[in-house]
Chains A and B, each alone.
Chain A
């Protein structure tokens, strides 16, 4: 059974940093593009970033470029999102998802709240 379990969310002050993790199981992690998608409270879905199977290609939505870094460790079946210079508008549930052009499995999400 495919499972994606996010962790690392929490309350952080504006300008602060947070590192999200996603533990994958039930499939060959190294064979898939992986993505982060977020959802602000009561709002719709927004793509954040994705990363190729071997980590050689990474893409970011403009609003997080230069502040967020996506990475992966295929030996640990894990996906990461390093978030720096956080802003109030980054407040959202962050989902880890398998795939790129149409993610077929999603985690349960982890809530990031940016507030003073």
Chain B
């Protein structure tokens, strides 16, 4: 199985901050790496697919980069609705695996 490790596991930030979350795969996943946002009590929402493609309807302050084993999600100018938990997922091979999540909290 490909293990996905996110860092940090949590962070505190203020509205307007730039936030970066990293995801590392235990082996290469090419660009089959996707990012989701999950607010409490709701289903996850796709933000970025194929490492850097912005999903339709997602604000342009979200961006993704990376390939192989190292990936980043960047949120420019954090907004109140962005305080949530973020997950990366690899779909290079089954079993599909998710990272452990990064909780973004209000400072």
Say whether A and B bind each other.
no
